[in-house]
Chains A and B, each alone.
Chain A
């Protein structure tokens, strides 16, 4: 279980309580957070669930795989050092209180 806050580009903020194992993409799309598209259904194949993670998350998340790093090269919005794909981030207690910012566009 983890409470994760999603902040959309327009400032709209939503905090979701995500069960362990849920990806942030699944949580956002299933719960009505706009700003994440997730075209490929979480297969790390489309780069439309781009997000910017805060320092807390950056400190506890496992490093991105080579596949995720490669796909991050294809994001439409600006890629930053804290850019991640929300479909590759799985919720768990360590993520409690984390905040992700969503870019203005995904495609």
Chain B
């Protein structure tokens, strides 16, 4: 195929956090060629974090959700095309094939295709009023249904006690709705939080009037012509519902990459610099699985991951190495509690608590052996920021130091700077 590549530039598939950050990083990195941002949603780039909270609660208007105004992108000579689907990547021709069949040439391609919520694999799982949350339109649909539930005094059921589900539960409770959370595992947030924090979050939600069912076995969704009426459990009981929000995880959108023959394994496999198995193609954000130094794959779904991988991917397209090695961090806002997590606590074998769990201001430090590997802070941003610095520097306090509010953890950083010998990372 004869494609005029001199006019081609960088094509970015996806207008979420990773796509936008990559486009901006390309410009700030000095790239002067064309940049095309392709999005399949009708909306331009918007902030996702408020969707489960202020947006769903009706406290924001659409303009406030805008991440980057189209004029701002235009000023940076970033061409935004919304409502455009990408059907295929033709690697030999260096083009992406769009939904209308046209071919868009690229000299560099960035995949920021995000993820898709898992559907409920149960009878009635597609009934009206059974909704998942990913996009602005998803959140608006849930908000509409919430409003109907308020009017008709019908309860809400959340399936899945992860962050999305619990944030939606908190928003629905704030609106005064009756809320039941059904979680299949014996504890909330089991995939990401230590048991001590799962228990604390269970108490937080119960304290706000949420009915929690742990170890719940959902059998089916019951519905009538108007949509969902309840959730049937394996024991035959039915939890009534005018809205069911399903938050049982996501799948990486790696179909395009797979079909193009790129290495994929529950996500588009990238190195620390965002490179895929094709030197002209990079990827970032929820759609990726990062190959770690030990060969394992790490999938992260977070704003920081999208932002940092996006910047790395932009650098890679400019021929530079900018590995993303910073400590992963995440946050979740529920009621008046801000949870901020640093590092990955999976594999921890002990912990120390600093602060007052009963008062709701504390940090749980996770240790593997003698090494600090992660910390979860609730309404304790200062602790969180300090832990990120400690983990980045590979400096570990002892468990006693971590749990002792009288001990200044920041002193370990200045000490390691003086020694010039930061500890070894695990």
A and B associate: yes
Residues of A within 8 A of B (CB): 22-23, 26, 29-34, 38-46, 66-67, 70-71, 73-74
Of the residues A22, A29, A42, A46, contact of B50 by C-beta under 8 Å: A42
Instruction: Chain B residues near A71: list those with CB within 8 A.
Output: 381, 385
**Docked-complex contact A32 and B71, CB < 8 angstroms:** yes
Given contacts A32-B75, A41-B50, A45-B49, 6 further A-B pairs with CB under 8 A are A34-B72, A41-B303, A43-B50, A43-B338, A46-B303, A73-B382
Chain A residue with Cβ nearest B311: A107
Question: Contacts A45-B331, A67-B379, A74-B385: A30 and B69 contacting too (C-beta < 8 A)?
Answer: yes
Chain A residue with Cβ nearest B338: A67
Chain B residue with Cβ nearest A41: B47
Residues of B within 8 A of A (CB): 17, 21, 47-50, 54, 63-64, 66-69, 71-72, 75, 303-304, 307, 331, 333, 338, 340, 379-382, 384-385
Of the residues B69, B75, B380, B381, contact of A29 by C-beta under 8 Å: B69
A87 to B69, CA, bound (A): 17
A41 to B71, CA, bound (A): 19
- 17 inter-chain pairs at a CB distance below 8 angstroms, sorted by A residue, are A22-B64, A26-B66, A29-B72, A31-B72, A39-B303, A39-B304, A41-B49, A41-B303, A42-B49, A43-B50, A44-B338, A45-B49, A45-B331, A45-B340, A70-B380, A71-B385, A73-B385
A60 to B75, CA, bound (A): 33
Nearest 6 A-B pairs (CB), nearest first? A41-B47, A70-B381, A32-B72, A41-B49, A30-B66, A70-B382
A42 to B21, CA, bound (A): 16
Interface centre among A44, A46, A67, A70 (most CB of B within 10 A): A70
**Docked-complex contact A45 and B338, CB < 8 angstroms:** yes
Chain A residue with Cβ nearest B307: A39
For residue A90, give the distance in angstroms from its CB to the closest CB of chain B. Answer: 11
Q: At the interface, is chain B mostly helix, strand, loop or mixed?
A: helix
For residue B170, give the distance in angstroms from its CB to the closest CB of chain A. Answer: 14
For residue B304, give the distance in angstroms from its CB to the closest CB of chain A. Answer: 8
For residue B185, give the distance in angstroms from its CB to the closest CB of chain A. Answer: 26
**Docked-complex contact A32 and B69, CB < 8 angstroms:** yes
Question: Contacts A67-B338, A67-B381: A43 and B68 contacting too (C-beta < 8 A)?
Answer: no
Instruction: Chain B residues near A32: list those with CB within 8 A.
Output: 69, 71-72, 75
Chain B residue with Cβ nearest A105: B28
A74 to B383, CA, bound (A): 12
**Docked-complex contact A29 and B385, CB < 8 angstroms:** no
Interface centre among B72, B303, B381, B385 (most CB of A within 10 A): B381
Instruction: Chain A residues near B17: list those with CB within 8 A.
Output: 39
Instruction: Chain B residues near A34: list those with CB within 8 A.
Output: 72
**Docked-complex contact B382 and A30, CB < 8 angstroms:** no
A22 to B17, CA, bound (A): 21
For residue A31, give the distance in angstroms from its CB to the closest CB of chain B. Answer: 6
**Docked-complex contact B385 and A41, CB < 8 angstroms:** no
A26 to B65, CA, bound (A): 7
Instruction: Chain A residues near B303: list those with CB within 8 A.
Output: 39-41, 46
Of the residues A31, A41, A45, contact of B67 by C-beta under 8 Å: A41
